[in-house]
């Protein structure tokens, strides 16, 4: 019996290339020197852990990589209109800012005020101080750009990560952080966060329907 136990132990350790939990051992044959067995191993836990680690790695990459950019204007936020629009100033110069790469729910939509309040919270955590990197100026005269907290976190990205905004695919070609915001949206979808937790209408469709009516 000890010899049999030893052979099973050796088979389980040396013949399996996988890490996991042994679920079943089936003896299929033996001779004078070998015991031949089929071993069933569950790797579900490892796969789940790997998925979680990959998600966490993506979030960390999203948060850390964007700090390599050097925003060029330091401002004080004075008003958060909605989840993707901010007013800020420095001295006598006032800026109306449209967050690049993203599109947040309109205030008249479900989650509209929640998205606005989330952006307001992020800015408040930065003592209302933000840094702006201007990408473009839109037809309304707003500066389209990336805004950062005093800790170097990209708030455009954080809105998407929390499910409080969509990636704005229509203008993604002008987004310096396109890959990162897309990764963040994938994670938000997997977690069913915010706008991904229900059957919500994207804001660009909402605006189109409103204009048509």
Judging by beta carbons within 10 Å of its beta carbon (0-12, 13-18, 19+), is residue 177 exposed, middle or buried? buried
Phi and psi at 137, nearest 5°, equal -125, 125
- The residues annotated as belonging to the active site are 98, 106, 142
Cα 16 from Cα 23, distance rounded (Å) = 13
Judging by beta carbons within 10 Å of its beta carbon (0-12, 13-18, 19+), is residue 163 exposed, middle or buried? buried
153: tokens are 């976190």
């Amino acid at each position: 019996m000890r010899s049999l136990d030893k052979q099973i132990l050796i088979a389980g350790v040396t013949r399996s290339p996988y890490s996991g939990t042994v679920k079943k051992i089936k003896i299929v044959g033996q001779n004078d020197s070998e015991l031949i067995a089929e071993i069933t191993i569950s790797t579900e836990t490892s796969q789940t852990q790997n998925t979680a680690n990959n998600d966490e790695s993506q979030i960390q990459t999203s948060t850390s990589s964007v700090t390599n950019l050097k925003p060029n204007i330091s401002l004080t936020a004075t008003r958060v209109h909605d989840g993707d629009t901010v007013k800020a100033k420095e001295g006598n110069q006032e800026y109306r800012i449209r967050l690049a790469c993203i599109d947040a729910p309109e205030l008249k939509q479900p989650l509209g005020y929640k998205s606005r309040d989330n952006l307001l919270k992020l800015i408040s955590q930065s003592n209302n101080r933000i840094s702006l990197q201007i990408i473009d100026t839109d037809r309304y005269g707003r500066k389209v750009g990336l805004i950062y907290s005093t800790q170097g976190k990209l708030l455009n990205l954080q809105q998407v990560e929390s499910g409080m905004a969509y990636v704005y695919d229509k203008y993604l070609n002008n987004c310096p952080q396109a890959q990162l915001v897309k990764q963040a949206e994938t994670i938000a979808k997997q977690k069913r966060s915010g706008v991904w937790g229900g059957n919500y209408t994207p804001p660009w469709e909402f605006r189109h329907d409103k204009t048509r009516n």
